[in-house]
Amino acid sequence: MKALAALQGDFQQYLLRGDPAIEARVTGTARVPASVRLSIYSGAYRGRLAEALAANYSALAKLLDEDFAELAQAYVAGHDSPYFSIRYYGEDLARFLATEERYAVAPLLAELARWEWAMTQVFDAADAAPLPAAQLAQVAPDAWAQLRFLWHPSVTRLDLNWNAPQLWQALTEDSERPAAAVTAEATAWLLWREGLTTYFRSLSPTEAQTLDAARRGWPFGELCELLCERVGDDEAPLTAATFLRGWVGAGLITATT
């Protein structure tokens, strides 16, 4: 078993780091030397990771077209796959695009990668039954101030400066692509899943701040106080009711505590 483990270790080091130690353990021929035989596996390993990256970032791959192969090669060279399933390969691509000089000059690429990865995570998130709206009607009036909410595992928030969601949608649907656009103030986005369908929409700054606070565990009374500061005492009750109704209706909330 130790010999097998050592053999596997040498082979892994060859695939990941190009360590030639395994060559001494591989039989070659004059026609097909050991180095050539091993390179077939090495090329297949890196090629499969590049294919997984293209599958996980299909919109980005479509946008970059032939240039995506170069990106994939550069990313694979510095990022091993830490998972048993390559379904999750590429989680660091957005950071890579944002920090590598040749890609950082086009920050839309990093934001598009962030968006695509978030959409994948939303789709793969665990399922949970949404809170029935009728259940809120049973909450006693004096219990509302301390009422807290539990959220569907798929609920995700992103703040983006570029129109990556619109570009992603156009690339996914093969429709006309919008011109790249950036805003000084980031746009708040909400992503979630109902059943097998993934949804997203932009949020007003007020709803984004309130939703973020609610997900951090603020009770409903404190959310209302926050809204009083944001929209005023007169508008706060209606705004709170509107937000809550929308969240429950979309299946974002699964329970109250």
CB neighbour class for 131 (10 Å; exposed up to 12, middle 13-18, buried from 19) = buried
Looking at 80, 109, 124, which one is the last position of a domain?
A: 124
Which stretches in the chain have pLDDT values below 50?
Answer: none
Token readout for 144 is: 């509302």
Tell me: do 167 and 242 sit in the same domain: yes
Tell me: do 153 and 217 sit in the same domain: yes
Side chain identity at 242, as an amino acid letter? Answer: T
What is the pLDDT at residue 247? Answer: 98
What is the pLDDT at residue 43? Answer: 54
Number of structural domains (the chain) is 2
Give dist(CA 33, CA 23) in Å, integer.
Answer: 9
Rounded to two decimals, what is the model's pTM?
0.85
Tell me: do 154 and 205 sit in the same domain: yes
CB of 131 closer than 8 Å to CB of 148: no
Tell me: do 77 and 186 sit in the same domain: no
Looking at 106, 124, 142, which one is the last position of a domain?
A: 124
Tell me: do 17 and 84 sit in the same domain: yes
Tell me: do 101 and 6 sit in the same domain: yes
Q: How many residues does the chain have?
A: 257
**Which residue segment(s) compose the domain that 92 sits in?**
1-124
